[in-house]
Structure 1
């Protein structure tokens, strides 16, 4: 995608119209180049050799895992497929009960990769000990363990100003390495999550290239924009989910139909989610509100869904209590009643809005010499970066049902590639 020098509004023209084979060749050359720069590491080999791959499970590799919202949603979907929806959700409300049954899930996470220290600490506090956590730059991980599915929300720093071809833009190395993990391990399925804006970049050219690049790795690929509130999340949050099924697998993934809304279960509201926390909300970010913060409405009513939860304490939405904000000019809103009647949502409240269970613990890094705002901002970041658990579960449910039938037919390991067969 190239921006021309015409006057007025920016004009874009499509990237070169490469054939499928040309796209694959470019991709393979780029991945081979990236792989050649990685130095062999005995410690990494030891990490991968210790993964707890189970033949009777659908083994998951989680990239850019963060605190584990996507992973927890998949695990819950896998449990629901085995023991039933009602029993799984009932157990999910109690850590003791959930820990006693979570191993029954058809999904089994064996490896995660993320550089965010506090998020990795949170993951360790909330997931089984068998999960190998790799806190290392993905560009320096030479081999990934064999798996049945790869999930993750890859960052996209270069997509906002895409070059002639996405795979040629060095800023998109993280995207390239997601594809590298697919080519190397050839899992049956992958699921990638990203922001809504990806769909409109370059008038749709970016998502077109992404689909082509993933497809060239050997997958039938589709994508869809989903809103979290349609699946029982008390939040307006649009996210793109890209799903790929390996071309030799007889499975057509269908995105989940909305479960909540005018024709289904009523949307879950802020009152449903956090009203009981009014007298004991826990820690929340304090301090003044910037001009940018006050450039738009930040307060929803109790009967509504929350604004999208951001990865920042300073940018957290306002609690519903108190009078509504008042618009007093273009991009200018007033906090009626002053700051004493307008506080940001707490860590516990935004975790509820992201549909994490109350037993889920978020690490603040443990630096007692740092300010409270500094410590809890790390928690806000983890929660805001996460995929809402119940949205992840909805996306995962059709795959869980398929995985269960696949394993029952003992077909899961047919056509398996060795983890180092392509490099």
Structure 2
């Protein structure tokens, strides 16, 4: 059976493409992102594909056609930033705030895929009182696509993180494609089997972390030896590129005052859980609860998301496990934002969780 050809726009470190790779049967014809270190990460982990470090607006129609290598593109995936949309009625004018989304539409117009999968933040549904989403739908409908969209919880698809994502699927077949059926649910519903479907329990932080080498302050390395998996989730993300290797597991060092603050915070708690003398004005710091999926992993997980058992923020690898990346998926780049390019943390925090992407990829196969 021939491969299903995909193009990944705003690909970042490659979480979307990784999920499609895991689903099997897909080939990424090309990918695009403006950040060099994210593209380096993508190309290292997807050596059979080509990711281009380009400003998407600078890529001409002729170059787009050339990048396809004369292959028909079946599916376009990606999630352009949509913050700050500018509206004129229910149309998106040629305003710089709309440029990246307009480029996504331009690529679809040129490539004419059978299906596209558009991912974004959950807040897009309420942006400008819902008018931004209506304008987005209008743009895609003008290109001939039937649309379905929904907020999906990544935890419902085997990701150890309750990360809500807006997903829109567009189809040129004239039929709307529904969302994939969840495979996981909370422990109580899983035990009661309320929906008469054999759904597994949500993957917890403990499920994700229990086999990782424990690191104290400033310990760890960019490349080290992995420990054997202890459960089915860890087996799933153990890796197939360099099985037995683990990358990017380095802990940062905190001052003693910060260590004391972190140590006093209970699992599932935040700054408000602390006694007054240990609190700060920064309220968006919380400690993971080992018995639940993590809250949304942001790009600031070294300072804002605390390890459940250690008084420190997360390593890149710990955050990557919560995002469902394989342990041998290697991230390139710096750990601080002093550099010109995005950090390893940005690449992980901005990524589409691969297991959510895999569920979407497996689902849309039935409609191609």
Taking structure 2 as the reference length, what is the TM-score of the superposition?
0.74
Q: Kindly state the Cα deviation for residue 316 of structure 1 after the two structures are TM-superposed.
A: 4.2
Write the deviation string for residues 357-401 of structure 1: whole angstroms up to 9, x where unpaired. 111010126xxxxx7786897111101110001011112211123
Question: Alpha carbons of 1:305 and 1:313: their partners in 2 closer, same or farther (altered >3 Å)?
Answer: closer
The alpha-carbon deviation at position 293 of structure 1 amounts to 7.4
Matched, 1:361 2:285: no
- 1: CA distance, partners of 2:280 / 2:92: 32
**C-alpha contact 2:146 2:175 (8 A) present in aligned 1:** no
Q: Between 296-305 and 134-143, report the one with greater CA deviation.
A: 296-305
Distance 1:189 1:372, change over 3 A: closer
Could you tell me which residue of structure 1 aligns to residue 367 of structure 2?
A: 402
Check conservation: 1:60, 1:110, Cα contact below 8 A: yes
Q: Find the residue that maps to 1:193 and give its secondary structure.
A: strand
> Contact 1:285–1:377 at 8 Å: present in 2 too?
no
Which whole-Å CA distance do the structure 1 matches of 2:281 and 2:317 have between them?
21
Q: CA deviation at 1:139?
A: 0.7
- Which of 188, 204, 226 is the equivalent residue of 1:269? 204
Equivalent residues in 2 for 1:274-423, closer than 5 Å: 274-280=209-215, 282-287=249-254, 294-321=282-309, 342-364=311-333, 378-403=343-368
Tell whether 2:157 aligns with 1:222. Answer: no
Distance 1:157 1:202, change over 3 A: closer
Q: Does 1:137 align with 2:102?
A: no
- In structure 2, relative to structure 1, the CA distance for the partners of 1:216 and 1:285 (3 Å cut) is farther
Counterpart in the other structure of 1:210:
136
The answer to whether the Cα contact below 8 Å between 1:285 and 1:313 also exists between their aligned partners in 2 is: no
Tell me if structure 2 keeps the 8 A contact 1:253–1:398: no
Alignment equivalent of 1:169, drawn from 79, 95, 101: 95
1:179 paired residue number: 105
Structure 1 SS opposite 2:305: coil
The superposition leaves residues 275-314 of structure 1 with CA deviations (integer Å, 9 ceiling, x where unpaired) of 2225246213444679877314511221011121112354
- 1:123 to partner: Cα distance: 0.8
Gaps of 5+ in 2: 66-71, 191-198, 221-248, 259-270, 272-278
The answer as to 2:169 corresponding to 1:255 is no
Aligned residues: 294
- Is residue 2:2 matched to residue 1:56? yes
Provide closer, same or farther for how the CA distance between residues 204 and 314 of structure 1 changes in structure 2, counting only shifts above 3 A: same
Work out whether residues 64 and 152 of structure 1, in 8 Å CA contact, stay in contact via their aligned partners in 2. Answer: yes
* SS of the residue 2:343 aligns to: helix
CA deviation map 1:49-93 (0-9, x unaligned): xxxxxx92211111000111011101212x1xxxxxxxxxxxxxx
CA RMSD of aligned residues (A): 2.5
Q: CA deviation at 1:217?
A: 1.0
Q: Report the CA distance shift for 1:320/1:211 in structure 2 as closer, same or farther (over 3 A).
A: same
The residue that corresponds to 1:73 in the other structure is 19
Structure 1: give runs of 5+ residues left out of the alignment: 1-54, 80-105, 322-340, 366-370, 404-423
Query: 1:168 Cα shift?
Result: 3.8
Q: Deviations over 1:226-265 (max 9, x none)?
A: 011111111111000111001xx26541211211112421
Flag the structure with higher strand content: 2
The offset of 1:315, in angstroms, is 4.6
Other structure's SS at 1:206 match: helix
Q: Residue 184 of structure 2 aligns to a residue in which SS? A: coil
In the superposition, relative to structure 1, how do residues 135 and 372 fare at CA in structure 2: closer, same or farther (>3 Å)? closer
- Which position in structure 1 is the counterpart of 2:162? 236
Secondary structure (helix, strand or coil) at the match of 2:200 reads coil
Larger % of helix: which? 1
Rate the CA distance shift 1:293–1:69 in 2: closer, same or farther, 3 A: farther
